[in-house]
Amino acid sequence: MQQNASRDLYDRALSVLPGGVNSPVRASQPYPAFIERGDGAHVIDADGNRYIDYVAGYGPVLLGHDLPERVIAAIQSQVSDGPMYGAPTEVEVELAEFIARHVPSIEMLRFVNSGTEATTAAVRLARGYTGRDKIVVMQGGYHGAQETTLVEGDESEVTPSSPGVPAAFASHTIPVPFNDETAIEQVFEEHGEEIAAVLTEPILGNRGIVMPREGYHERLRELTEDHGALLIFDEVMTGFRVGGLGCAQSHFGIDPDLTTLAKVIGGGFPIGAIGGKAEIMEGFTPAGDVFEAGTFSGHPVAMTAGLETLRYAAEENVYESLADLGDQLRSGLVDIVADQAPTYTVTGIDSMFKVIFTRDGQPQDGDCTAGCRQDPGCQRGGDCPQNAADVEAAATDRWERVFYHRMREEGVLLTPNQFESQFLTAAHTEADVEETLEAYKSVL
Q: Please list the active-site residues.
A: 142, 234, 263
Interatomic CA distance for residues 171 and 149, integer angstroms: 11
| Of residues 220, 356, 279, 274, the one with CA closest to residue 99 | 274
The alpha carbon torsion through 434, 204, 314, 66 (nearest 10 deg) reads: -50
- DSSP letter string over 115-153? HHHHHHHHHHHHHHHHT--EEEEETT----S-TTT-EEE
363 contacts 380 by C-beta, under 8 angstroms: yes
Interatomic CA distance for residues 53 and 7, integer angstroms: 20
Interatomic CA distance for residues 199 and 416, integer angstroms: 27
315 contacts 307 by C-beta, under 8 angstroms: no
- Helix 318-340 to helix 430-443 angle (10° resolution) is 20
Name the 3-class secondary structure at 380. Answer: coil
Convert 416-425 to b/e letters by CB count within 10 Å (16 or more is b): bbbbbbbbbb
330: left (phi over 0), alpha (psi -120 to 50) or beta: alpha
Q: Which amino acid is at 325?
A: L
